[in-house]
Chains A and B, each alone.
Chain A
């Protein structure tokens, strides 16, 4: 059964890295799901901290304060006067509109989390760029599903990657939902990662059974699921290439594997990545 689970989409853009691709994808998804699109623009606190730190010996506290104030004001002005205009245009091109936009000043991950605490969000859409100061630890936090756009075109093939490192309960449902809404083919590859053994035995106990259950559910839905053995981090990008996937979907990584693993998978992924709850 397919559920309508994505109604409120949040696209997050940092002042450090303005990604049109993320806005375009979020707008496209909002149009497909007939969802509401909100744009959160974050004036990146880390960049302001870099000015502060680098100028500490050269400028006085007052001068640093003025500089930060002026920079913040210009960035805010740029967002209000130009970037939102551009975002509205992109949304219109994708057949939707931006219902709401907000500007916050602070650290990227924290501002996203704060927003999610305040408002209902079903899906977060963001971009990923390694050459920034941005901290993507939001990927490790318990947030709504996050779609990380990597700037590719239409979604024709989706590869779902359940594994013994993740809680796959909602993965199948989400993969079916997206495949259905986006009109994409769905492939499923269950990864048995040897890293699961011995690292946090208390949590992986019974995973084999869960894996079997997942396979059974796939069969019930009339889907075929292949099994692979190897490191999730390495296999993810390899499988994405092999399947020529436009989107990779992961289950919610168990806490002991969460630290940095998603970021590494995303960094090496050739296509967009959706981290499910």
Chain B
């Protein structure tokens, strides 16, 4: 199993084949090498989190199709136009809040043209304007940090929930996830903003934002009032989120996601073609490979074996072990897909927690899930960074410089929240 894991690590980093194909490889190698029975392996793929992921991707497809996310983005952005620094914070808030509801990559793809248009209207020269650099960097940091907030932010969140349910029989509700993660988001977001405006203090004056204000107002006007399909989509979305908040303990997040997705079809708000255009099935395969590998590492004892090795590194101290896991999550996610990074670390984190007295496997899993979303350093580390980089407003060096500090601070925030607040709410 360790061999399969190492193969997956190499393939996920070097990407000689698409990531989802590596996911498939991880699945079929286990029965092929006699590590686990085929039935057991594929049962992991049928985990309820897969269906939650599917349902949430369909909901996201409807929101995207009807442009609801664009309306929200422009509306929220218009609240932050008083000063350039506030505008940068606004971009982070918009990116983060939309990433509570949609995948961070989709949010970055939506916001990029809007922001580029604003910067061009303001005649800001690429790479010369601190305001341009800070705005574009805030797009990638905002969406990444925001993706920690709910189960909808990225596939690694349902992956963690699915893993905990399969391996430890611990069920995480929609609200339970938010209760755990929101403080981390709410603390990290302003700190990352402070880093950005410290490194790149906007050179423009507040009155120069007039053009941005006018541009946002024009775009809002162009969108016009909400039509019937938009209202209905919003209604279905809010009902689904309401059900997740109130009934996910009883019904499970997957069942509610399926209800929401089916409602969209019944009300003819999306067609199957819309879903096919917007749902990446490769993500499901990647997820499947990731979760079956996690379960395989756990059940074969490979995770425990690795954890024993890591014990010496952490000197058997729970806080040090937790810190090492969080830092490892940050480092790994710079090199490979964040879902893959989380999949690799989850079983090791659980194995380590079960060996070290005073360390909870739930805490290590949550901490790994959050740190796995911290791809702040490289333009190739996460799609949102690549998308923001294509604007030409910042250099890879700018991202590396601010990302190092933002990453270091976020590691600290996750660690401190984990050892204090999570203990307080009884996760530890």
Residues of A at the B interface (CB closer than 8 Å) are 15-18, 20, 47-48, 50-51, 53-60, 62-63, 66-67, 70-71, 73-75, 77-78, 81-83, 86, 129, 131-132
Q: Is the interface of A mostly helix, strand, loop or mixed?
A: helix
A61 CB to nearest B CB, Å: 9
Question: Quick check: A18 and B105 within 8 Å, CB to CB?
Answer: no
Verify if B390 is at the interface (C-beta below 8 Å from A): yes
Question: Quick check: A59 and B395 within 8 Å, CB to CB?
Answer: no
Residues of chain B lying within 8 A (CB to CB) of residue A78:
116, 120, 126
* 29 residue pairs bridging A and B, Cβ less than 8 Å apart: A17-B126, A17-B395, A18-B126, A48-B390, A50-B379, A50-B380, A53-B386, A54-B382, A55-B387, A56-B18, A57-B19, A57-B20, A57-B280, A57-B286, A59-B109, A60-B277, A62-B278, A63-B278, A67-B387, A70-B113, A71-B112, A75-B390, A78-B116, A78-B120, A81-B120, A82-B120, A82-B123, A82-B125, A132-B395
Q: How far is the CA of A53 from the CA of B278 in the complex (A)?
A: 17
User: A62 with B277: in contact, given A17-B127, A50-B390, A54-B383 (CB under 8 Å)?
Assistant: yes
Question: Quick check: B397 and A51 within 8 Å, CB to CB?
Answer: no
Total A-B contacts with CB atoms under 8 angstroms apart = 117
Name B387's closest neighbour in chain A (CB-CB).
Answer: A51
A84 CB to nearest B CB, Å: 12
Question: Quick check: A71 and B380 within 8 Å, CB to CB?
Answer: no
User: A60 with B120: in contact, given A50-B390, A51-B383, A132-B395 (CB under 8 Å)?
Assistant: no
Verify if B262 is at the interface (C-beta below 8 Å from A): no
Partner of A54 from the list B278, B280, B283, B386 (CB cut-off 8 Å) is: B386
Q: How far is the CA of A16 from the CA of B395 in the complex (A)?
A: 8
Residues of chain A lying within 8 A (CB to CB) of residue B19:
56-57
Question: Quick check: B277 and A86 within 8 Å, CB to CB?
Answer: no
Residues of chain A lying within 8 A (CB to CB) of residue B396:
131-132
Question: Quick check: B380 and A53 within 8 Å, CB to CB?
Answer: yes
Name B388's closest neighbour in chain A (CB-CB).
Answer: A51
Residues of chain A lying within 8 A (CB to CB) of residue B337:
57
B369 CB to nearest A CB, Å: 17
A276 CB to nearest B CB, Å: 29
Question: Quick check: B117 and A74 within 8 Å, CB to CB?
Answer: yes
Question: Quick check: B128 and A20 within 8 Å, CB to CB?
Answer: yes
Residues of chain B lying within 8 A (CB to CB) of residue A59:
105-106, 109, 280, 383
Q: How far is the CA of A248 from the CA of B411 in the complex (A)?
A: 47
Residues of chain B lying within 8 A (CB to CB) of residue A77:
117, 120
Verify if B255 is at the interface (C-beta below 8 Å from A): no
Beyond the given A50-B380, A66-B109, A78-B120, please list 8 additional residue pairs across the A-B interface where CB-CB is below 8 A. A54-B381, A58-B103, A59-B105, A63-B278, A70-B109, A71-B112, A75-B390, A82-B120
Verify if B385 is at the interface (C-beta below 8 Å from A): yes
Question: Quick check: B282 and A56 within 8 Å, CB to CB?
Answer: yes
Question: Quick check: B282 and A18 within 8 Å, CB to CB?
Answer: no
A239 CB to nearest B CB, Å: 28
Residues of chain B lying within 8 A (CB to CB) of residue A71:
112-113, 116, 387, 390-391
Q: How far is the CA of A75 from the CA of B128 in the complex (A)?
A: 16
Which 8 pairs of residues, A with B, have the shortest CB-CB distance? A54-B386, A55-B383, A58-B105, A74-B116, A70-B113, A62-B277, A67-B109, A57-B19
Chain B 384-416, CB within 8 Å of chain A: the 1/0 string? 011101111001110000000000000000000
